[in-house]
Chain A
Amino acid sequence: MRRITSFLMMVALVAAMLPVAGCDTTSPSTHTEELVVEAYLVAGESLPPVWLARSLDIDAVWSSPQAAINEASVFIDLLTDQGQVEATFVYRRTIEAPGMFVTDTAHDVLPERTYRLRAEAAGLPVVTSETTVPEAFELLEVSHQVIEYQDPEQFSYLVTRSRFEDRQSIFVFTIANDNPTPENLVPVYKDLLFDREDLESGEPLVFDPEDERALRRFTSPPINEGNYDVLPGGLLRVRLPWFAVAFYGPTEITMSILDDNLYDFQRYQQVQQDGGLLSPGEIPNVLDPVEGGAGIFGSMARVQSVVEVVPANE
């Protein structure tokens, strides 16, 4: 009898947990439409356009004209150090592109100053976002005007530093080529993108459109200033790794220093795309700086130069 009682007690305990076991520990995902903003301020350059769109349900097919928001009030405020509005730049709709807004006021973006974007469209919450523009920096010297591909003495910049109060500078390098043809590819990329049969056939090579777009303008992930040695006088010598060069010919190299908004957006978006250390199937949201909506309102300082990359045997 005692044995049966004990066993029944145990069964009761197990049964007691079953109602709890039926609980679903996740919540369903539902689409909520948001106002999406996009604008990139560059220190020392004119105020940029602002693009507006609405977010779509995951099952919708993206169409820029359909997603674009063309009726909206858009402003960018220049703020004082105390957060007061020093100047307001009114934006208007332009027919140049769907959802594109521009300002008629001539104003060069001021480094180390804070700008605030305000946008309002019918039926959606008001969107605001602020960015503090990085300190401008200077390109003092480039190592080469023309360089042989894979020259051990790599192409390098000598630049001044851009300082941040609470962090080091974050760079991205953008490498663009005006003649991104398959024939113009450097050997490594040619071997990566095309099968051996294609290369040996003698037929003209044809790019996959996605490959072409990805290589025409290629940007590095965010790179910390800590990678580079600070030279006497507080200058930085920055070398371009050869893997970043996909084509021969004139190559435009842009070195940008990101504000917090762009840095956060880029690093989260990269993990959203690649997964990184997260488990497969885990997709984090991007860390965007937009209150009441989504998208990016960021700023940067940048320098540019052009170097011609020629085959090593020429």
Chain B
Amino acid sequence: MHQYSIRSLVLALLLPLLLAFSDAQAQEASISGFVRDAETGETLLLANVRIKDTLIGTATNNSGYYTLAGLEPGEYTLQFSYIGYQVFEVTVVLGAGESARRDVDLAPQDFEVDEVVVTAEADTEEEQRRLGVSKMPTATIRQLPTILEPDVFRSLQLLPGVKSASDFSSGLYIRGGSPDQTLILLDRTTVYNPTHFFGVFSTFNPDAIKDVRLYKGAYGSEYGGRIGSVVDIYNKDGNRRENAGSISLGLLASRVLVEGPHRKGSWMLAVRRSTVEPLLAVARGQDVEGIPNTFYFYDANGKVNVDLGQDDRISTSFYAGQDVVDVPIADGVAARIRYGNRTISTNWTHLFSDRLFSNFTITGSQYFSKPEFEFATTNIFQTNDVWDYSIKGDFEYLPDSRHQIKAGFWTGNFRFDFRSVFDGLEGLNLETRALYTNLFGEYIFRPTADWTVTSGLRGAYFSDGSFVRIEPRLSVERRLSDQLYAQVGTGRYHQFLTLVTNEAFSGLDVWLSAAENVRPSYGDQVVAGLKFTPNAGIRVEWEAYYRTMRDLFSLNPFLPDVAGLAYEDLFHVGEGYATGSEVFIQGRIGPFSGFVGYTFGLTKRRFPTINENAYYPPKYDRTHDLNVTGTARITKKWEFTSVFSYATGQAYTRPASRYRLGNSPFEAEDTDVLVSPFNGARLPAYHRLDIGFTRRGKLFGAESELQLQVINAYNRRNIWFYFYDFQQDGSITRDVVPQIPVPVPNISYTLRF
């Protein structure tokens, strides 16, 4: 049913291209160029470009490049806008068949430039208006109160449709999907374990990040490989105007960023490392037991850009990070865990013409996890390594204003090694070598100014199991008025990988893949939305979604030992669905700004091994989820930020009955057994308020920023889970394991020079 020939796939991809080329108009004019930050020279991704007082517009692509094609000869006023930047207008005169190039620098809102035209607010960006797309400005990420470290994923968790598992988890549970259903890309490279501190926060250093975009669902055919969503993150290019940098000192970690121009481009290096060793040394000096011998994490991001000419740019970026902990438990008992990621990518952007844009990337990604446990000379260790090397190419072609074509490929080689050794005996040694290839084509058709139809097709091949899968995608947008847009979208998605993880601890994460007799997961998504901009500065969005999840293969949690099992016997295969409705309101009134996100959501799963194969809500299912974020500029120097979160209590298992087996030949202790409807109850509602103050100033001529924050400001004792403990007297006590149990202060100091 799902298998199609390669030939039909290629034909399907080429057909819209052929149709579109035939529609090209030779005498129409066009204008194109890059949009950059005036202060740093950074390209601005998904900036809004439109012809003033018309509905003709576009957005810059993932390289900051735009093209407006199919224009009649004449005079136009172009308007460029981007959130957090002043609107820029420029008038151009285009002759018949002329292809003009206009690179534009946008000034940040606090930046004084003579030529800019200042307006109150930026318009809603074209790209951000797209179905299921959310952007999180890095300035917001750095500003929001957060435990220990400013964090990209914890900021994304505030958006509607995105949930967290607990205060201790940065995992993204998007529209009812588990974290492995979200593709995480850093500079177009897959990141396999995006966590530090065993899941408490994500690996992405906000100083190094330029752009964070979340595709929550029904995403276009240029992405694939996950049945849920995509987080697309881009590192900064580096300051093209001057050498600059920043130093941040925090409670848990400190960060250094340096960047600057070189003769043909720019460079950037950002390093972050935990700084808790002195505290640990003091604790060890006080003979506190269980203090790790070693505990640290670090990450480094770097990027070098070289402009080879007006039409060619090359950049190379890397990421390296790891977490290490070495805990002595007793004499002869110790645990050591080391895990991390490394990525590298080289990207070549080439303009074949003003209407044909291309991008080629070579990527390499490695994830490793090496837990080791020693107990009385019994050594237990496990290694999981993932290597992923790939080449991808993307093309964008705009023959005229009504048609746009995107096409591309992504091919690579996966290598997964998973080895488990117990007391010198190798219990498991899995080696997976798989080639994967993806081809996609997308045709964007604008028959009138009010309608946009985007149709796409993606084909995916995975060699382990020889799977070929076709993924059609379709979305339609209708402009109902200048302020109101209605959208629907649908698509099919496949996933060849599954993550073995635990919500409470990500340091042991293991990736496994589909293979012969283990079919890839797949799902269908339907999304409908309304985007409303009643006036400048206010944005209201509503989206509703329904999605299915089928052939969900994941490691069977009821296998105490996997040695000697056939690969397909490692898994239990289930299914699920999720539905929900989201409202997002963003606004700015005078010195106040913020956003409100509300989600009504429902997600269910079923597996033959759990709950007698009946549907149940997973723990992260939350019926209602509300986040309110606000920022107030109190004075020129002081700013106040707050985040309030409310959510329905998570599903948990409340035991109904119990019995005891007292005659086991194996145990000296009685065996207590609970009987419960699986996840049949709800924890009390979750709510929390975080507040923060920021003071900006100068120190030795450098800009300084002092942040004082309190997490869980009113001391709400949210429950993480209940622990049932069997007592000697035959009773069972229910102990509360809390989330962040007390107000937690956070302080950081940043210098920018």
Contact = CB atoms under 8 A, between A and B. Distances in A.
B568 to A, nearest CB: 14
Interface string A154-192: 100000000000001010101010000000001110011
Interface in A204-259: 209-210, 213-214, 216-217, 219, 221-228, 239, 241-245, 254, 256
Contacts of B565: 168, 224, 226
Interface stretch (B324-332, B358-366, B389-397): B324-332
B353 interface: no
A283 B667 CA distance: 21
Nearest to B557: A277
Contact of B377 (A53, A58, A150): A150
A214 to B, nearest CB: 6
B663 to A, nearest CB: 6
Contacts of A82: none
Interface in B714-739: 720-722, 724, 728-732, 737
A187 B332 contact: yes
B656 A26 contact: no
B263 interface: no
Residue from A2, A13, A224, A254 having most chain B Cβ neighbours under 10 A: A224
A20 B600 contact: yes
Interface stretch (A28-36, A71-79, A109-117, A124-132): A28-36
A6 B557 CA distance: 50
A116 B559 CA distance: 26
A280 B534 contact: no
Given A174-B665, A280-B721, A280-B737, A221 B657 contact: no
Given A20-B600, A242-B377, A227 B564 contact: yes
A31 B657 contact: yes
A58 B732 contact: yes
B493 to A, nearest CB: 24
A224 B737 CA distance: 34
Given A219-B666, A267-B559, A283 B564 contact: no
Interface in B657-677: 657-669, 671-677
A21 interface: yes
Interface residues of B, number: 97
Given A28-B681, A150-B377, A269-B673, A281 B652 contact: yes
A102 B574 CA distance: 43
A67 interface: yes
B247 interface: no
A64 B668 contact: no
Contacts of A56: 657-659
Nearest to B728: A209
Contact of A24 (B427, B610, B674, B682): B682
B663 A282 contact: no
B92 interface: no
Contacts of A3: 481, 483-484, 534
Interface string A1-25: 0110011011001100110110111
Interface string B648-659: 001111111111
A29 B427 contact: no
B677 A29 contact: yes
Given A29-B677, A217-B668, A281-B619, A243 B484 contact: no
Interface in A41-86: 42, 49, 51, 53-64, 67
Interface string B433-468: 000000000000000000000000000000000000
A61 B484 CA distance: 62
A172 B666 CA distance: 8
Contacts of A210: 669, 728
A59 B727 CA distance: 12
A270 interface: yes
Interface string B367-408: 000000001111000000000000000000000000000000
B700 interface: no
A245 B376 CA distance: 9
A281 B660 contact: no
Contact of B376 (A23, A243, A256): A243
Contacts of B558: 267-268, 271, 276, 284, 287
Interface string B200-223: 000000000000000000000000
B546 interface: no
A268 B500 CA distance: 18
Contacts of B331: 187-188, 191
A57 B376 contact: no
B632 interface: no
Contacts of B332: 187-188, 191
A181 to B, nearest CB: 15
Contacts of A6: 480-481, 483-484, 532
A38 B656 contact: no
Nearest to B677: A29
Chain A CB within 10 Å, residue with most, of B330, B659, B674: B659
Contacts of A254: 665
Given A10-B484, A281-B721, A224 B564 contact: yes
Contacts of B501: 277
A44 to B, nearest CB: 14
Contact of B663 (A38, A284, A294): A38
A57 B657 contact: yes
Interface string B571-589: 0000000000101000000
A223 B681 contact: no
B728 A280 contact: no
B425 A228 contact: yes
B423 A29 contact: no
A293 B682 CA distance: 27
Contact of A286 (B532, B557, B651, B673): B673
A313 interface: no
B6 interface: no
Contact of B542 (A14, A187, A278): A14
A296 interface: yes
B623 interface: yes
A58 B624 CA distance: 29
Interface of A: 2-3, 6-7, 9-10, 13-14, 17-18, 20-21, 23-34, 36, 38, 40, 42, 49, 51, 53-64, 67, 150, 152, 154, 168, 170, 172, 174, 176, 186-188, 191-192, 209-210, 213-214, 216-217, 219, 221-228, 239, 241-245, 254, 256, 266-272, 276-287, 294-296, 300
**Closest 10 pairs (CB-CB, A-B):** A226-B564, A281-B721, A62-B730, A226-B563, A217-B668, A29-B656, A243-B378, A219-B666, A283-B653, A281-B652
Given A36-B659, A284-B678, 8 more contacts: A3-B483, A58-B657, A226-B561, A227-B425, A268-B558, A276-B557, A279-B165, A285-B674
5 contacts: A7-B484, A56-B657, A152-B377, A191-B331, A276-B558
